[in-house]
Amino acid sequence: MTPPAAPAAAPPAEPDLLPAAFLGDLPVEDFLRHGHELVEWVGRYFADPGRYPVLPRVAPGDVRAQLPPSPPPNAEPLGEALADAERVLVPGLTQWNHPGFFAYFANSSTAAGTLGELLAAALNVNAMLWKTAPAATELELVAVDWLRQLLGLGEGWHGHINDTASSGTLVALAAAREADPALAVRERGTAGRADLPALRVYCSEHAHSSVDKAAITLGIGHANVVKVGADAALRMRPDLLARAVAEDRARGMRPLAVVATAGTTSTAAVDPTAEVAAVCREAGAWLHVDASYGGAAAAVPELRAHVLGGVEHADSLVVNPHKWLFTPMDCSVLWVRRPDVVRRAFALVPDYLVTAEQGEAVNLMDYGVALGRRFRALKLWMVLRTFGAEGVAERVRYHCQLAREFAGWVAAEPGWAMAAPVSLSLACFRYAPAGLAAAEHDALGERILDRVNRSGEVYLSHTRLAGRHVLRLAVGNVRTERRHVARAWALLREAAAALRPGA
Amino acid sequence: MTPPAAPAAAPPAEPDLLPAAFLGDLPVEDFLRHGHELVEWVGRYFADPGRYPVLPRVAPGDVRAQLPPSPPPNAEPLGEALADAERVLVPGLTQWNHPGFFAYFANSSTAAGTLGELLAAALNVNAMLWKTAPAATELELVAVDWLRQLLGLGEGWHGHINDTASSGTLVALAAAREADPALAVRERGTAGRADLPALRVYCSEHAHSSVDKAAITLGIGHANVVKVGADAALRMRPDLLARAVAEDRARGMRPLAVVATAGTTSTAAVDPTAEVAAVCREAGAWLHVDASYGGAAAAVPELRAHVLGGVEHADSLVVNPHKWLFTPMDCSVLWVRRPDVVRRAFALVPDYLVTAEQGEAVNLMDYGVALGRRFRALKLWMVLRTFGAEGVAERVRYHCQLAREFAGWVAAEPGWAMAAPVSLSLACFRYAPAGLAAAEHDALGERILDRVNRSGEVYLSHTRLAGRHVLRLAVGNVRTERRHVARAWALLREAAAALRPGA
């Protein structure tokens, strides 16, 4: 290594700079004036979250065409930027806050979460090290522990916040790879090693694509993600899992991890975690539970055993407060049993990040890929405080009740049928009038979906089950009331009546 | 595969729910009242960013001890949560906005960035698909293209926003692995394959730890990150790089990628990208440029060639607006030459995410690990509009001038010496009075650093160069003026006078 250059009398490599003067940020008066205006705007928006169509009436390129192609050479007033945001951007957005948002799984923006984000953006700390943001680091540990208690999880979990469950699952599977130090993946990698078998990851055929993406990213490979068949309720079958694991072992492959899902994306099915855990234990495989959507239901005491039963045997668990826990994007909690294994997978402390507190304080940069870390805990903590444990449970319970009521309407209506057991706050269904072939049902479902979504009043999405097109109505936004679900049902029936052959 | 269960008349698996009723979010009046209060608070905070000590006077556990160990069973008023945030959390934070923040590389919170985050949190869209947030997707493409122009980059770059440069570098190296489809890493992974050689990644010995972390995460392995020696100005030596690549090839290893750094963390050294690119071209290796800090300097026309010269030969480039471009955390832009290769590494479209616009619109979930994506472009776009290209350049230029002026003071002062050439807005220096051994200089440096940081007026950090302790003063926060740098220098000299042997 070359020793550092001695005295810097040596001329710097860069060209001479022109004299410059301090400019700083915009005047505080601008912030105050436009900040108050924006609070008023957001207040009106929250008061009437249905005032924009839930799906915007734009085609690809429409928004971009309204924006200048180059940055302005000189500063423009803050008020103009905000006015353009209201004029051009907001009407070009899908309205995730709309009470008729029933697609995918809902996100919720809330008063507490939004103000938490405002304060976090102003403080703008980087919680990479305890020293660089002590209160943000400690609040993160507190907030995820509050959430642990609220979901009825036992002790002995170490939690931290990632942006999304995709990142959390990637961290969990990376840790799984380090759980057996003999693999020496951190140091030696996996390529070019004759000593290493193929590493296998198992999940239900209905597991989220983030499992595949994590396996691809980690170099495990898409072909090494084993999709295990499901039962009639679309839950992973532990017997098929055990068989797949045994077959792989017989072929010299290494079962690394199993991902059980508590609330699949397609149908909200909950895998039988306790039975899956037994297979993992026998195989020495890491058990990760993806409860990114469903975990919130554990806030409801009477749903807890259903959704998170068996999770006490898991090695890691991911739950997204930004999905069904009323916290703005992004906020995903990963709990692990053995934080030392996660640190073994990710901790790197270069000289410039060494601090005196290293031994006694948690440095959250050691638990994942990102070094820079926003103060995400603030919004979560504010939501938990202002809703309270009971307030969270009541809202989640209400959403489940709405989905169940909707399913009842579907099941009772001629020509309509549920396509999977209703689970948590999700109903999967189809319009399948007698006398039509399955392919015609599928085409009709696509047209019904397109028609109701064009109304601007609701947004539903779809999935496929056994190759068949299925409609999904997922309740989860804090602003959704019974009347919005009823309106969705009315629009669906109207569309079916208008579109069915012979109508 | 089991066909989906037919009519859902079957009793649901979960227990019966108690009747519940709509609760919704807090009343809008609460949001308005506390939103306006918070805007006033942030305005006062921005007006006097030095009113808290830059390093808080807390020990590990102090903040946590002031917070209840469990979530409240019932809702608490929003005002109480905000009051506790001000009383307990803010004084326990490192003040990244403090104009005396000279540690690491600064982040800046700005009026435009903060209000952009407020609006993004309220709208709370998920820009995973074009359809789920058309304006957020298109604004992201526009804002990163504005930034491309502002930095003087040519055409032919496709940009998107990640949380941090660590994620951007991971995405770039994952793409490097897919650039040669013959490796078939996506499908088959890298473990258990006799056909695959070790994959090698090269970077300067002064490159950021995120390169190591990405290689570990991707399964490339820490031992396969080759640290290339630097010249007297601490820049990667292309001749040593070429030699390392040749040696690896001779051993049957596969040179996958080289990471050049434009602004290293320790000293802001800029690797000779054009010469590094020549080695990459010859070796068929991907060239990624980590300009996460330094890239902002390209906003200054006279610094552009210095900092980003040769980048036109790179395959990918990362620049962090949340570092030196006055945008709140988190916002890191990754540009790539071949977006199809990134999509090959990451795109996965399960049935439930198929949309009609798939062919004609960009779905940004296809460009990285995370599926959920915050509306990060909004704050960046608002900063670029309200500062303008010239406003950004003037501020960056001023910061470089401050670092250079500080370096002049150091070089002129007996007992003090620069430890590396001043580069961009960073000065590396030490107190090394005659008559002491190197180890004594190091110990003195540590004590001086501790003492000035305890003042609460400034925060500097350190690094090690050739094993020696070195002080760093990095200018970059939008609120830092010449008087703050002068104050840092006064505190440093006072500390040295008080602590030097015999004082």
> Between these two residues, B355 and A336, which has the higher pLDDT value?
A336
> Does B48 lie at the interface with A, CB-CB under 8 angstroms?
no
Q: How far is A339 from chain B (nearest CA, A)?
A: 16
The DSSP call for residue A333 is E
Q: Do A56 and B134 touch (CB under 8 A)?
A: yes
Q: Do A8 and B422 touch (CB under 8 A)?
A: yes
Helical H segments across A356-503, by residue range = 377-412, 438-454, 482-499
- A-chain CB neighbours of B350 within 8 Å are 208-209, 265
Would you tell me which residues 217-256 of chain B have a C-beta closer than 8 angstroms to some C-beta of chain A? 217-224, 229-234, 253-254
Q: How far is A502 from chain B (nearest CA, A)?
A: 25
- Characterize B234-260 residue by residue with b for buried, 16 or more Cβ atoms within 10 angstroms of its Cβ, and e for exposed: bbbbbebbbebbeebeeeebbbbbbbb
The string of pLDDT tens digits covering residues B439-457 is 999 999 999 999 999 999 9
The string of pLDDT tens digits covering residues A351-410 is 888 888 777 899 999 999 999 999 999 999 999 999 999 999 999 999 999 999 999 999
For residue B312, is pLDDT > 80?
yes
Query: Token digits for B69?
Result: 């160990």
Of A381, A376, A384, give the one whose Cα is nearest residue A121. A376
Other Cβ atoms less than 10 A from the Cβ of A268: the count is 30
**CA-based torsion, A490, A496, A498, A503: positive or negative:** negative
Interface test with B, best of A98, A267, A352 (most B CBs within 10 A): A352
Helical H segments across B130-237, by residue range = 134-150, 165-179, 185-188, 209-217
The pTM of the full predicted model, rounded to 2 decimals, is 0.96
Would you tell me which residues 448-487 of chain A have a C-beta closer than 8 angstroms to some C-beta of chain B? 461-466, 468, 470, 472, 478-479, 481-482
Q: How far is A472 from chain B (nearest CA, A)?
A: 9
Of A241, A246, A255, give the one whose Cα is nearest residue A177. A255
Which of A17, A81, A386 is the closest to B404 by Cβ?
A17
Q: Do A190 and B190 touch (CB under 8 A)?
A: yes
% of chain B beyond a pLDDT of 70: 96
- Rounded to an integer, what distance in angstroms lies between the CA atom of residue A489 and that of residue B207? 57
Would you tell me which residues 66-125 of chain A have a C-beta closer than 8 angstroms to some C-beta of chain B? 67, 69-78, 80-82, 85, 88-94, 96-97, 103-104, 107-125
- A-chain CB neighbours of B36 within 8 Å are 36, 39
The string of pLDDT tens digits covering residues A226-248 is 999 999 999 999 999 999 999 99
Sheet-wide strand order for A468-474 = A416-418, A426-431, A468-474, A461-465
**Which residue on chain A is closest to B129 by alpha carbon?**
A94
- Rounded to an integer, what distance in angstroms lies between the CA atom of residue B422 and that of residue B270? 11
Query: Token digits for B316?
Result: 């990918």
Query: Residue B17: its pLDDT value, please?
Result: 56
> Which residues, in sequence order, are bridge partners of residue A459?
A101
For residue B5, is pLDDT > 90?
no
The string of pLDDT tens digits covering residues B129-139 is 999 999 999 99
- Characterize A49-88 residue by residue with b for buried, 16 or more Cβ atoms within 10 angstroms of its Cβ, and e for exposed: bbebbbbbebebebbbebbeeebbeebbebeebbebbeeb
Q: How far is B229 from chain A (nearest CA, A)?
A: 6
ipTM of the complex: 0.96
Range name among A337-351, B102-116, B374-388 with the lowest pLDDT average: A337-351
Q: How confident is the model at residue A199 (pLDDT cuts 50, 70, 90)?
A: very high
Which of A30, A300, A369 is the closest to B213 by Cβ?
A369
> Which residues, in sequence order, are bridge partners of residue B439?
none
- Rounded to an integer, what distance in angstroms lies between the CA atom of residue B376 and that of residue B124? 10
Q: Do B118 and A123 touch (CB under 8 A)?
A: no
- Rounded to an integer, what distance in angstroms lies between the CA atom of residue A100 and that of residue A122? 32
Q: Do B92 and A223 touch (CB under 8 A)?
A: no
The string of pLDDT tens digits covering residues B133-169 is 999 999 999 999 999 999 999 999 999 999 999 999 9
Residue linked to tokens 């830059």: B54
Q: What is the three-class DSSP state of A96?
A: coil
Beta strand A316-319 with A286-290: parallel, antiparallel or unpaired?
Answer: parallel
Q: How far is B312 from chain A (nearest CA, A)?
A: 19
Query: Averaged over B275-290, what is the pLDDT?
Result: 98
Beta-carbon contacts below 8 Å between A and B: 751
Of B411, B476, B298, B302, give the one whose Cα is nearest residue A16. B302
Query: Residue A10: its pLDDT value, please?
Result: 39
Query: Averaged over B329-352, what is the pLDDT?
Result: 94
Of A386, A317, A310, A313, give the one whose Cα is nearest residue A160. A317
**Mean pLDDT, all residues of chain B:** 94
The string of pLDDT tens digits covering residues A270-327 is 999 999 999 999 999 999 999 999 999 999 999 999 999 999 999 999 999 999 999 9
Q: Is A4:B442 a contact under the CB 8 Å cutoff?
A: no
The string of pLDDT tens digits covering residues A6-31 is 433 333 444 455 567 899 999 999 99
Q: Do B302 and A15 touch (CB under 8 A)?
A: yes
Q: Do A112 and B78 touch (CB under 8 A)?
A: yes
Q: Is the peptide bond before B330 cis (omega within 30 degrees of 0)?
A: yes
For residue B19, is pLDDT > 70?
no
Q: Do A96 and B407 touch (CB under 8 A)?
A: no
Which of B25, B232, B369 is the closest to A166 by Cβ?
B369
- Rounded to an integer, what distance in angstroms lies between the CA atom of residue B263 and that of residue B396? 14
Burial class for A499, CB neighbours closer than 10 Å (0-12, 13-18, 19+): middle
The string of pLDDT tens digits covering residues B291-303 is 999 999 999 999 9
- Rounded to an integer, what distance in angstroms lies between the CA atom of residue B308 and that of residue B36? 43
Q: Do B2 and A229 touch (CB under 8 A)?
A: yes
Q: Do B32 and A43 touch (CB under 8 A)?
A: yes
Q: Return the HEC string of A378-419.
A: HHHHHHHHHHHHHHHHHHHHHHHHHHHHHHHHHHHCCCEEEC
The string of pLDDT tens digits covering residues A120-155 is 999 999 999 999 999 999 999 999 999 999 999 999
Would you tell me which residues 483-502 of chain A have a C-beta closer than 8 angstroms to some C-beta of chain B? none
Q: Do A14 and B90 touch (CB under 8 A)?
A: no
CA atoms within 13 A on the CB side of A293: 27
- Rounded to an integer, what distance in angstroms lies between the CA atom of residue B279 and that of residue B282? 5
Query: Residue B26: its pLDDT value, please?
Result: 96
In terms of residues, how long is chain B?
503
User: In this structure, what are the phi and psi dihedrals at residue B359, rounded to the nearest 5 degrees?
Assistant: -75, -35
Q: Is B276:B238 a contact under the CB 8 Å cutoff?
A: yes
Q: Is A211:A225 a contact under the CB 8 Å cutoff?
A: yes
Beta strand A254-261 with A286-290: parallel, antiparallel or unpaired?
Answer: parallel
Q: Is A271:A237 a contact under the CB 8 Å cutoff?
A: no
Reply yes or no on domain B28-95 having CATH 1.20.1340.10: yes
Q: Phi-psi category of A284—alpha, beta or left, where left has phi over 0 and alpha has psi -120 to 50? A: left
Q: How far is A503 from chain B (nearest CA, A)?
A: 25
In chain B, domain spans = 28-95, 116-384
Q: Do B306 and A122 touch (CB under 8 A)?
A: no
Of B213, B172, B181, give the one whose Cα is nearest residue B367. B172
Where are the extended beta strands (E) located within A243-391? 254-261, 286-290, 316-319, 332-336
- A-chain CB neighbours of B150 within 8 Å are 71
For residue B435, is pLDDT > 70?
yes
**Which amino acid, residue A97?**
N
Residue linked to tokens 């938990």: A384
Of A115, A54, A119, A133, give the one whose Cα is nearest residue A90. A54
Reply yes or no on domain B116-384 having CATH 3.20.19.10: no
Query: Residue B16: its pLDDT value, please?
Result: 54
Of A345, A312, A382, A400, give the one whose Cα is nearest residue A111. A382
Query: Residue B274: its pLDDT value, please?
Result: 98
Q: How confident is the model at residue B6 (pLDDT cuts 50, 70, 90)?
A: very low
